[in-house]
Amino acid sequence: MLFVTAPESPLLESRNWLIHIHYSRREFDVCRMYIQEELERSSRMAEYPNYIMGIILRHEGKIQESLEYFQICHILNPRSVNNIKQVARSLYLLGRHRLAVEAYLEAEAVATKPDWAIYHNLGLCLVHVGEQAKAKENFLRALQCSRQEETYMALAKIHLLEEDIEGAIWIYKTALQCYRDSSELSTALGLLYMKTGQFQSAFEQLGSALAHDNNCPRALLAAATMMQYLQNLPSFHLKQMEYLMKGYYDFTTENLIYQLQGNYCIAEYIGHITETPRKRMNGHRLDTNHDDPDKPAISCLKRANYLSPFDYNTLFNLGVVHLHTQQHASAFHFLSAAINFRPNSAAAFHMLALCLKNMEDPENAIQAFDQAGQLDPSEPTVALNYAVFLNSKGDKDKAIEQLRKFQKLAEGNTALDSQLLEMASELCVKLSLSDITNINDAHNAEQHDENPGDLEQDLV
């Protein structure tokens, strides 16, 4: 008996399942091989291989190439919402936000039902093009589709851009009702409470964040900042400190980071107050001696530097605290690294100048002082420390010039520390400048409240 079989017809998508399996296993090299075979067989007209190839290229950071593959998918299937969303996503990653907005609007028109991803990403694009009102509308529509944590975060940021802190607090509190275990939401809310001076509420939120993530990288320096504002550790409630100090904190909010009081670095770290074993860091036990904050300050900052080695603020404060402990070589190392990341920082050059002065390198110290003065000509402490340094080197003419500059900058500045004014008056006496020896008295007459400013002094 003769059996007749039908001829095999080539199926262009016969290997899609194989491509999907290798992609799911993250075996991208094998996956690319099958994709290339399918694209050659189909003359690049197969939708799924093009789609997966675009995703792989995006994963490798080749955004422009991935966009081309997604555009081919869109041409092959213009009614596919996923294809349009991928095109829009690639445009967003390329920074072409206007085109991304148009693509997401097209995806919204094609979609048969509300899509959280479309509204959320459309809101992100609108923020970048400055249309905050429309962005807020889309974030609210996204929340109606799905209450996602990242949408709450994005909506709160819009309120902060509009300087509506109370609105942002309300958003974070609403989000925490859905995501009670979110350390990011608790941390963000705690920082806003700190900004508004509600330290009790800030303690509660930061403690909640650290309870859920005891390695939260934003916790250590925020706690240190709060200590700096309150300035009196014994007045802290011990139970609150037990609850709070369970992790580390790398504080980055722009308006609350790294302030200086005199010569002290703001980042103080207090080890566990509880009886639990102390955490080891860099092979050493953390010191809990409250009378000597330098060691825990260095420990907490080194932990922050480990978590974020390229953060300018951490490097700068490591330099400051090493300068305070007279470890000048280490201070020079960290301050130089900070300047490499932010070469326009007057404060970093100022601290570097003091470091070079203590290392007996007057030539480079002069260059650092000059650079600090050029970057921030309105900072009086630079002029005063420069004058002290020049006088110690016997250059009285330039010292007088810098002292007069300090006098000019100090006029009407009620935030200056009284110790700085006393230092200036003593230097005036040494330089025999009778016309400005009364600078301290004149300043005290203008000052109505005793609120020492957050300024840096020279360590003599």
Tell me the pLDDT band of 439, cut-offs 50, 70 and 90: low
Give the separation between CA 56 and CA 158, rounded to whole angstroms: 32
Helix intervals (H) in 162-277: 165-178, 183-195, 199-212, 220-230, 238-244
Tell me the pLDDT band of 167, cut-offs 50, 70 and 90: very high
Tell me the pLDDT band of 54, cut-offs 50, 70 and 90: very high
Q: Which pLDDT belongs to residue 397?
A: 82
Helix intervals (H) in 213-327: 220-230, 238-244, 294-307, 312-324
- E-state strands within 393-451: none
Asked if residue 190 lies in contact with residue 209, where contact means CB atoms within 8 angstroms, the answer is yes
In this predicted structure, the answer to whether residue 454 has a pLDDT above a threshold of 50 is no
Q: What average pLDDT score do residues 87-113 get?
A: 93
Q: What average pLDDT score do residues 157-162 get?
A: 92
| Sequence ranges of the domains in the chain | 181-308
Q: Which pLDDT belongs to residue 238?
A: 38
Indicate if the alpha-carbon torsion angle 237, 238, 240, 244 is positive or negative.
positive
Give the separation between CA 333 and CA 208, rounded to whole angstroms: 36
pLDDT (tens digit per residue) in 138-152: 999 999 999 999 999
Burial of 45 (0-12, 13-18, 19+ CB in 10 A): middle
Cβ contacts of 141 within 8 Å, gap of 6 or more: 114, 119
Q: Which pLDDT belongs to residue 276?
A: 28
| Average pLDDT score, the chain | 76
Helix intervals (H) in 342-395: 346-358, 362-375, 380-392
Cβ contacts of 190 within 8 Å, gap of 6 or more: 201, 202, 203, 204, 205, 206, 209, 222
Which of the listed ranges 69-78, 257-266, 287-296, 391-400 does the model predict with the highest average pLDDT? 69-78
pLDDT (tens digit per residue) in 419-437: 777 777 777 777 766 555 4
The residues pairing with 284 across neighbouring beta strands, listed in sequence order, are: 281
CA 401 to chain CA mean position, Å? 39
Q: What average pLDDT score do residues 352-376 get?
A: 89
In this predicted structure, the answer to whether residue 446 has a pLDDT above a threshold of 70 is no
Give the residue among 353, 313, 318 at the shortest CA–CA distance from 333.
318
Judged by average pLDDT, the poorest of 99-113, 211-225, 253-267, 287-301 is 253-267
Judged by average pLDDT, the poorest of 47-51, 162-166, 224-228, 435-439 is 435-439
Q: Which residue has the higher pLDDT, 309 or 168?
A: 168
Q: Could you tell me what percent of the chain has a pLDDT over 70?
A: 72
Q: Which pLDDT belongs to residue 202?
A: 84
Give pairs for 18-22: CB < 8 Å, separation 24+: 19/48, 19/49, 19/52, 20/48, 20/52
Q: Could you tell me what percent of the chain has a pLDDT over 90?
A: 31
Q: Which pLDDT belongs to residue 44?
A: 84
Burial of 325 (0-12, 13-18, 19+ CB in 10 A): middle
Give the separation between CA 121 and CA 138, rounded to whole angstroms: 9
Q: Which residue has the higher pLDDT, 360 or 1?
A: 360
* Residue in the block written with tokens 């250059």: 395
Q: Which pLDDT belongs to residue 251?
A: 35
Whole-model pTM: value is 0.52
In this predicted structure, the answer to whether residue 394 has a pLDDT above a threshold of 50 is yes
